Structure 1
Amino acid sequence: MNPAVPTWAGVAASAALVLLAVAVAWHGRLHLARDIAVAATRAGVQLAAVGAVLLLVFQHTGLVGASGWLALMVLVAGQVAARRARGLPRALPIATAAIAAGAAATLGALLALGVIAAQARVVIPVGGMVVSGAMQATALVLVRLRDEARTARPAIEARLSLGLPATDAFAPYLRTTLRTALIPAVDSTKTVGLISLPGAMTGLILAGVDPFTAIRYQIVVMYMLLAAAALASLTAGRLAERALFDDAHRLRPLTTEPRRERA
């Protein structure tokens, strides 16, 4: 048994940390004690279920099962990002397409160049990181574009009335949105290793892999996350821009007010 890997008894013991968080929330009257307990329970159950399914995928389905798993990830991620952008026309297909484009291009390049092994136990965790990064960037783009279309409608329509096509009238807001959406990925890439040791590198080191080998893998991870975020952001921005304007270059009405997200 690898001493760096906690046993199930160790996992159970770590639940004491959750109890501590619950106690702090209860003592501070934050009204979060129940939410913390439910979140911790759900996390444990979900991860255990995912572990069991992944074991079956690794042993019996190979790359076919991995492809299906990644497709499911993309669909769920698209729904999550679309919920953030309620009120934006065609938010769900746009979010799903953007995440799929970023993930497919990034994973496809890594597999085609032989950077990662074409094995289910490699493709699924790496693909999960790529889909997650693409989802976060896509959600930021769609939320920001929706808000820009709401608050800047008079300015956008003024630019349209001067004869500018929809692409040019909306270009400043799209550029600002894309820059904002890429800030988290850029900042995390710039500060990797200085502020924290990322998950992939930490996991490999805990598993006993040589640190320089873990560093190589982490560099690949950071580069692929940056690429996936950039591709997903650009795709989401272009698709959302088309959805916001009709064929006559008029800004569509956004009649549905976005529901406030819980913190």
Structure 2
Amino acid sequence: MNPAVPTWAGVGASLVLVAVAVAVAWRQQLHLAREIAVAALRAGIQLAAVGAVLLLVLRHTGLAGAAGWLVVMVLIAGRVAGRRAAGLPRALPVATAAIAAGTAATLGVLLALGVVSAQARVVIPVGGMVVSGAMQATALVLTRLREEVRTARPAIEARLALGLSSADAFAPHLRTTVRTALIPVVDATRTVGLISLPGAMTGLILAGVDPLTAIRYQIVVMYMLLAAAALAALIAARLAERALFDDAHRLRPADADG
């Protein structure tokens, strides 16, 4: 047994930390004690269930199972990001398509170049990180676009009235939105290792991997997250732009059904 990996008894003992958080919330009358306890319980159950399913996938289904798992993750991520932008026309299909495209392009390049191994035990966790990064960028883009449409509608419609196409009239808002959505991942890439040790690198070091090897893997992870976020953000913005305007270049309401 790897001494760096907690036993189930150790996992149970870590509930003391949850108890501390619950006690603080209760003591300060934050009305969050119950939510913290329920969240911790749900996290434990969900992760245990996912671990059991992953065990079956890795042992019995191989790459086909890994591909199916990634499809499920993309669908869930699309639903989460689309729900964040509720009110934006076709938010759900736009979010799902952007996340799928960003994930497929990024993971496809990594696999094609042999940067990551084409094994289920590698594809699933790496793919999960890519989907997560694409989801966050997509959610930020769509949420910001919805707010831009609501607040800047007069300016957009004024440009349309002057004869500009929908793309030209919306271009300043699209650029601002994409730039804002990419700030978190750009800042994370810029400060990686200076503020905190990232999860992939930390996990490998705890598993006994040489730090220099862990650093190489973390560099790949940061680059793939940056690429996935950029691709997903741009695709989400472009697809959302098309959904926001009809064939006559008229701006649709921001609260239209998706």
TM-score, with length taken from structure 1: 0.97
Give the C-alpha shift of residue 131 in structure 1: 0.2
SS of the residue 1:235 aligns to: helix
Give the C-alpha shift of residue 256 in structure 1: 5.8
Which residue identity lines up with residue 226 of structure 2 in the other structure? L
Partner residue of 1:96? 96
Contact 1:86 1:256 in 2 (8 A): no
Which residue identity lines up with residue 8 of structure 1 in the other structure? W
Contact 1:98 1:233 in 2 (8 A): yes
Partner residue of 1:124? 124
Give the C-alpha shift of residue 44 in structure 1: 0.2
Partner residue of 2:254? 254
Give the C-alpha shift of residue 129 in structure 1: 0.3
Name segments (4+ residues, structure 1) moved above 4 Å: none
Structure 1: which 5+ residue stretches go unaligned? 258-263
2:143 matched to 1:143?
yes
Which residue identity lines up with residue 2 of structure 1 in the other structure? N
User: In the aligned structure 1, how far is the partner of 2:22 from the partner of 2:72?
Assistant: 33
Partner residue of 2:35? 35
Structure 2: which 5+ residue stretches go unaligned? none
Give the C-alpha shift of residue 255 in structure 1: 3.5
Query: Per-residue CA shift, 1:68-124, capped at 9, x if unaligned?
Result: 000000000000000100100000000000000000000000000000000000000
User: In the aligned structure 2, how far is the partner of 1:115 from the partner of 1:152?
Assistant: 44
User: In the aligned structure 2, how far is the partner of 1:205 from the partner of 1:163?
Assistant: 59
Give the C-alpha shift of residue 7 in structure 1: 0.4
User: In the aligned structure 1, how far is the partner of 2:254 from the partner of 2:117?
Assistant: 45
Partner residue of 2:107? 107
Contact 1:245 1:252 in 2 (8 A): yes
Alignment of 1:1-263 (within 5 A): 1-255=1-255
Query: Per-residue CA shift, 1:148-181, capped at 9, x if unaligned?
Result: 0000000000010000000000000000000000
User: In the aligned structure 1, how far is the partner of 2:175 from the partner of 2:189?
Assistant: 21
User: In the aligned structure 1, how far is the partner of 2:241 from the partner of 2:255?
Assistant: 17
Contact 2:89 2:255 in 1 (8 A): no
SS of the residue 1:37 aligns to: helix
Contact 1:140 1:181 in 2 (8 A): yes
Give the C-alpha shift of residue 253 in structure 1: 1.4
Contact 1:89 1:243 in 2 (8 A): yes
Which residue identity lines up with residue 196 of structure 2 in the other structure? S
User: In the aligned structure 1, how far is the partner of 2:253 from the partner of 2:177?
Assistant: 20
CA-based RMSD: 0.9
Contact 1:84 1:143 in 2 (8 A): yes
User: In the aligned structure 2, how far is the partner of 1:143 from the partner of 1:91?
Assistant: 10
SS of the residue 1:104 aligns to: helix
Which residue identity lines up with residue 49 of structure 1 in the other structure? A
Give the C-alpha shift of residue 145 in structure 1: 0.4
Aligned residues: 257
Partner residue of 1:261? none
